[in-house]
Chain A
Amino acid sequence: MIFTFAGLGRTALFRALVVAVLVVGATFVYLWQHMVMVDLGYRVEKARTELAELQHRHSELQLESASLSELARIERIARDELGMVAPEPLQLVRVVFAAPPAEPSADRPQSMVLARADIR
C-alpha cells in the first residue's frame, strides 16, 4: 500500500511536521543532556583526582614536617653540627618583662629564660 500526502490537509501536514520537530528536538535535548552529563562526569573525576593528589601532598608535607621537627634530630644538629651545648642550671638567667610605667598595663609581667650566652 502506498501512502502519499496528497490526501492530507494542510493542518494535518503541519501537525505531523510539528510532531516530527518535537521528536527530533527532544532527541537532541536528550543527547545534549547526556553529553553534558558525560562531560561533567569527566570534570568531576578530574577534580576528584586533583583533590586526592593535593590531599596526598598535604599529608606528605605534614609527615615531613613532623619528621624534620623531631627533637632528637634538632638536638643532634645543634650539638654535632652547630657546636651548641645545653646550659648548666646556674648559667640560666630569667628575664622578666614588665610593661613600661608610662603605659600601665593590666597584664602580668611575662618572662623568658635565656642562657647567659644568648644575651647580646
Chain B
Amino acid sequence: MTAPRKGSLFRRAPRPRVSNPGPLGGRTALLGVCVAAAFAVVLVQLTRLQVVQAGGLSARAERQHHKTIRLSGERGTITDRNGRILAKNMDVPSITADPASVENPRATARKLARLLPVSDRSLEKRLKGNRHFAWIQRHADPAAAERVMALNLPGIHQVPESRRFYPKGKLLGHILGFAGSDNQGLSGIERAYDSQLKGGEVRLVMQRDALGRTVVPTGTNYRRPDHGADLTLTIDEVIQHHVERELDRLMEESQPTSASVIVMDPDTGEILAMAVRPEFDPNRAGRYQADDFRNRILTDPYEPGSTMKVFMAATALDAGVVTLDELIDCEGGYLPLRGGAMRDTHPYDEITFAEVLAKSSNIGSTKVAMRLGPDALYAGYRRFGFGQRTGIELGGESGGVLPSPDRWSVRSLPSIAIGQELSATPLQIITAASAVANGGRLMRPYLVKAVEKDGETITVQPIMVRRVMSEEAAAKLRDALVAVTEADGTAPKAALPGYRVAGKTGTAQKARSEGRGYAKGKYVASFLGMVPADNPRLVMLVVVDEPEGRYYGGTVAAPVFRAVAGPALHYLGIHPRTDRTVVVAGEPGMAVPAATAERANG
C-alpha cells in the first residue's frame, strides 16, 4: 500500500488501533458459532418438543393438570322385613404403590410387612419394577392404613375403596351370600340381585393446581352416580335369630354333618327364616371353601322319607280314594310285596287312616297309595311341585328327582309313597307343605319383599302357582296331622302348650354314595310342622343330616321346631290358649297396677 501524496484531497484514513486483530476476529467468530449452535440446539429441542413429541407431551401435561376420578354409586343396602340392616357398604382404605417411585423396595417392604398382614417377600415382589401401580393391601384395617401413611414412604399411597359389610356376622350368611373385592355379587342374594344392587359409575374430570389440589370440575355435565337399589327381604331377623340359636344348640348336641331350618308364611310363600349349618360368615368369605357357602336348603335334594306321606295323603284325600276315619289293615307290621316286604317299626293291625299318619305306618300308607296307583300318585306329587324347581330367586336351585311311572320298578310305588326312590330339597317340601297349610294353594317361595331405587319402591306380590287340593281336604289333613304331635304320635316333643300343632316326622335312611341300597346307620331326621293347625301362620321344616346318637325325626328335629315356634308365635302376637290374661284400663306402656299384678301372679 502506498502513502498518500502531500496535498491530495483525500487522506488515508488512519488505521484502527488494533493490538492483535487476528485472534480477536477468531474469538468473535467462535462466539458467533457458539451462539448459533446454542440457538440451533434450542431450535432442535423446540422442534422436538413442539413437533415431534408434541402429542405425547400434551397428553402428559393434560394428565398432570387434570385428574379423572371414577365415582361409583354405592351398592344397595339389604335389610330384613322390618328395616334392620343386614348388608351395607362403607369406604375403607386400600394401600397402593407406585413401584417406579419406590426408592428402596426391600426396606419399604420390610416396613410395610410390620404393619400389614402381608409377607415382606410378597411385598418386595410387588414393589419392584417400573410399573406405576400395584395393590399393597385392599380393604386394609383403617388403623393399620393410618400407621402406614404416617411412615411417609415414597411411592406408597392410600385410596378409599367401598367394601361390603355384614353387621350380623354369620346370621343369614348362606342367604345373603357375599360380594367380592370389586363389589360384585358372588353368591346368595348378592349374586341373584347383583344387577340391581350395584351402583352406577361416573367418570369426572377435575382440574389440579400446582399443589395437586382439585380445583373445579371441567365441563358442566356432572351428575351423581346412581345408587344401587336397596332390597328388603321377607326374612324376619327375630325369627331368624331363634332359628340360628336352636341350630347351634342342635349342632352341639347331635353333631350332625349338616342341618337346616326353613320357616315360611304359608299364605304368601314369604320365607321368614332360613338357616344352614355348618355356618358361614360372609365377612370372612375368603376363609371358607366353596362347599361351605352352598345353601343346602335349595341345592341339596335328599330322600325325605315319611314327611312325603303328607303329600301322598293329600293326593289320596283330594282324589277321594280314602277318608281319615276309614280303617286300614296294617297287617301286623309285615306286608309281603313283589320286590321285597314292607315293614312297620311298630306293628299295627286295623287302624284309621288318620292313625296311619299319626303313627307313620309304612304299610297303611302303601295300601292307600296302591288305591291311587302310580299315575295318580305321580301326578299328585308333580302338582305339589316335586321334580321341578320352585322358582325362588336364588341361583343353584335343584328340582330334585321324581321319576315318571314308566321308569318305576315293581317296588317303586310303595317306596315313593313313603318318601324313598325320590329326592326333594327342603325348599320343595316346605313349599308343598305350605299349600296344605293355606288350604290348597301352591305359592311360589320368595326372599325379596321390595326393591327400592331412587325413592321408588317396587313391592313383590305373592304368586299362586296353582291349586293343588281342595280347602276342605287340606283342613281335614291338618286336623289329622295334629295327632302326630300328641302323646301317641311320633313327635310329642313338637307340641306347644296352648297351640294345636300339625306335623309329620321323617326318619330316612341315607342312600349309599357308592353303589345301590342304603348306608347302615346313616339317617336324615326331619320334622315338618304347621302352627296353629286351624289357621297356620308358620310352616317350618327342620332337617338334620346324620345326627349322632338319637336319629328319629321326632326326637332330634321336633324339639328344634318347638324351641323356635314358641317364641316366634309370641313375637308374631299369636298367643297360646294357656296364656293367663288380665284386662286393665289404659294403654300399652303404662305401669301395670299392683292389684292386677297380684291377680296375675295369683
In-complex Cβ contact of B582 among A60, A62, A96 (8 A):
A96
B578 on the A face (CB < 8 A): yes
Q: How far apart are B585's CB and chain A's nearest CB, in angstroms?
A: 4
Q: Within 8 Å CB of B583, what residues of A?
A: 95-98, 109
Minimum Cβ distance to chain B for residue A119 (Å): 4
Indicate whether B396 reaches chain A with its CB closer than 8 angstroms.
no
**Is A18 an interface position by the 8 A CB rule?**
no
Whether the pair B581, A38 counts as a contact (CB closer than 8 A) is no
With A72-B244, A119-B592 in contact, do A93 and B581 touch (Cβ < 8 Å)? Answer: yes
Q: A95 near B584 (CB under 8 angstroms)?
A: yes
Q: Is the CB of B215 within 8 A of A38?
A: yes
Cα distance A110–B583 in the bound complex, in angstroms: 10
Interface status of A106 (Cβ within 8 A of chain B) = no
> Hey, which chain B residues are within 8 Å of A119, CB to CB?
592, 596-597, 600-601
Q: Is B169 an interface residue (CB 8 A)?
A: yes
A-contact 0/1 string along B531-571, CB 8 Å cutoff: 00000000000000000000000000000000000110010
Shortest C-beta distance, A22 to chain B (Å), equals 28
Interface residues on chain B, number (Cβ under 8 Å): 52
A70-B238 Cα distance, complex, nearest whole Å: 10
The CA of A111 and the CA of B459, in the complex, are separated in Å by 30
Residue A75 at the chain B interface, CB threshold 8 Å:
yes
Q: Is the interface of B mostly helix, strand, loop or mixed?
A: mixed
- Residues of B572-599 whose CB lies within 8 A of A: 573, 575-576, 578-588, 590-592, 594, 596-597
Whether B88 is near chain A, meaning CB under 8 Å from some CB there, is yes
Q: A98 to B367, alpha carbons, bound, how many Å?
A: 55
Check A112–B588 contact: CB distance below 8 A: yes
Q: Is B171 on the interface with A (CB-CB < 8 A)?
A: yes
Pairwise interchain contact A110-B587, C-beta atoms closer than 8 A: yes
A107 to B169, CA, bound (A): 41
Query: Does A59 lie within 8 Å of B171, measured CB to CB?
Result: no
- Segment 193-240 of B: residues with Cβ below 8 Å from A: 207, 209, 213-217, 237-238
Indicate if A85 sits at the interface (CB-CB under 8 A). no
**How many Å lie between the Cα of A79 and that of B74 in the bound state?**
38
Q: Is A11 an interface residue (CB 8 A)?
A: no
Residues of A within 8 A of B214 (CB): 41, 45
B167 CB within 8 Å of chain A: yes
Known: A94-B580, A96-B583, A113-B575. A63 touches B497 (CB 8 A): no
Min C-beta distance of A40 to chain B, whole Å? 7
- The reply to whether B584 and A97 contact each other, CB–CB distance below 8 Å, is yes
Distance in Å: Cβ of B353 to nearest Cβ of chain A: 32
For B169, the chain A residues whose CB sits under 8 A away are 70
- B570→A90 contact, CB < 8 A: no
* CB neighbours of A40 from chain B (8 A): 216
Q: B90: CB under 8 A from chain A?
A: yes
List the A side residues contacting B579 at CB < 8 Å: 92-94, 113
Q: In this complex, what residue of B is CB-closest to A105?
A: B587
Interface centre among B168, B244, B601 (most CB of A within 10 A): B168
Chain B CB within 8 A of A14 CB:
no
A72 CA to B592 CA in the complex, in Å?
29
B498 interface hit (Cβ, 8 Å): yes
A95 proximity list for chain B (CB < 8 A):
581-584, 592, 596, 600
Known pairs A41-B215, A45-B214; A90 contacts B88 (CB<8 A):
no
CB neighbours (8 Å) of B586 from chain A are 97-98, 100
A42 x B215 contact (CB < 8 A) = yes
Q: Which residue of the partner chain A has the closest CB to B582?
A: A95
User: Does the CB pair A116–B601 fall under 8 Å?
Assistant: yes
Interface residue A66 (Cβ < 8 Å from any Cβ of B): yes
CB pair A45 B585 closer than 8 Å: no
Q: Are A63 and B588 closer than 8 Å at their CB atoms?
A: no
Q: When A75-B245, A119-B600 are in contact, do A63 and B216 touch as well, CB less than 8 Å?
A: no
Roughly how many angstroms separate A75 CA and B90 CA in the complex, as a whole number? 27
Is B65 engaged at the interface, CB distance under 8 Å to the other chain?
no
Interface readout for B82-118 with A: 1 if CB under 8 Å, 0 if not? 0011101111000000000000000000000000000
Q: Are A41 and B578 in contact (CB under 8 A)?
A: no
CA distance A63 to B79 in the complex (A): 12
State in angstroms the CA–CA spacing of A52 and B225 once bound together. Answer: 14
- For B244, the closest partner residue in chain A by CB is A72
Cβ-defined contact, B215 with A45, below 8 A: yes
Nearest A residue to B170 via CB reads A72
> For A26, what are the chain B residues with a Cβ–Cβ distance below 8 Å?
none
Q: Report how far A72 CA is from B580 CA in the complex, Å.
A: 29
Contacts known (A40-B216, A94-B581); A59 close to B88, Cβ less than 8 A: yes
B497 CB, min distance to chain A CBs, angstroms: 5
CA distance A69 to B238 in the complex (A): 11
Residues of chain A lying within 8 A (CB to CB) of residue B581? 93-96
Q: Say yes or no for A23: interface residue by CB 8 A criterion.
A: no
A89 proximity list for chain B (CB < 8 A): 496-498, 566, 576, 578
A60 to B578, CA, bound (A): 45
Contact of A92 among B85, B88, B570 (CB under 8 A): B570
List A contacts of B238 (CB < 8 A).
71
Task: Report if A113-B88 is in contact (Cβ < 8 Å); known contacts: A63-B167, A95-B582, A98-B583.
Answer: no
A97-B587 contact, Cβ under 8 Å, with A40-B216, A62-B85, A90-B578: yes
What are the 7 A-B residue pairs with the smallest beta carbon separation, nearest first?
A41-B216, A66-B167, A119-B597, A71-B241, A66-B85, A67-B167, A41-B215
Residues of chain B whose beta carbon lies under 8 Å from any beta carbon of chain A: 84-86, 88-91, 165, 167-169, 171, 207, 209, 213-217, 237-238, 241, 244-245, 496-498, 566-567, 570, 573, 575-576, 578-588, 590-592, 594, 596-597, 600-601
5 A-B pairs within 8 Å (CB atoms) are namely A95-B600, A97-B586, A111-B573, A119-B600, A120-B594
Beyond A60-B90, A97-B586, 10 additional pairs, beta carbon < 8 A: A56-B91, A59-B88, A59-B91, A66-B86, A66-B168, A92-B570, A95-B583, A119-B592, A119-B600, A120-B592
